[in-house]
A = this chain, B = another copy of it.
């Protein structure tokens, strides 16, 4: 029996896309900043064509603003947009989590536990920052994965990236972080118990608390 292993072929374009996406979400560029394409070319050691293709994709995805004849800019951060993103997360992730609890099977249950465990184990030391972020994203993806709607998942993913631009503005806040980490495990608990209503309520609260963190950082940043 031939294992059809996903090859995950990469191109210069797909690599620089993923790198830039991470750096944009992680706040390595200033909000509102105009991107100097030549500088990017140098910094990431990449050719102009793959770079421009990546920038075009990021603009279509919403992590860059493209203006004809004047290149690419990093979107500004605004209170109104943070509110918008958080409110959309509440609606869409809540909906998705409910549906996931209805449809998720035993495999999902196992993946939930695994994802929560990996996230817990990943210490948040400064060097492993990016690793924790990856596991955190992966955990939230797993929560809603079996919701049954490809488009809903797509929108949620996009909103998460947007939200993280705000959440990751400042330094870590260990106290609040602990509360949020605890909620991760409680979310798994309630999902396994198929307690849709309580799960939804906790998800709402989780997003709301995250929003408060993001807002605090946004205000400190401005």
Binding site for B on A (CB under 8 A): 9-11, 13-14, 49, 52-54, 56-62, 68-69, 81, 84-85, 87-88, 91, 95, 148-152, 154-155, 159, 162
Copies, count: 2
B53 in contact with A88 (CB, 8 Å): no
Instruction: Pick from B68, B84, B155: contact of A11, CB below 8 A.
Output: B68
Query: What are some 28 contacts across the A-B interface (CB < 8 A)?
Result: A9-B68, A9-B69, A11-B68, A11-B69, A13-B56, A14-B68, A49-B49, A49-B52, A53-B53, A54-B56, A56-B56, A56-B57, A56-B60, A57-B57, A57-B59, A57-B60, A60-B60, A60-B61, A62-B154, A81-B150, A84-B148, A84-B149, A84-B151, A85-B151, A87-B149, A88-B152, A151-B162, A155-B155
| Shortest distance between the CB of A50 and any CB in chain B (Å) | 10
| Shortest distance between the CB of A4 and any CB in chain B (Å) | 15
Q: What are the nearest 7 A-B pairs in CB distance?
A: A60-B60, A57-B60, A9-B68, A53-B56, A56-B56, A11-B68, A56-B57
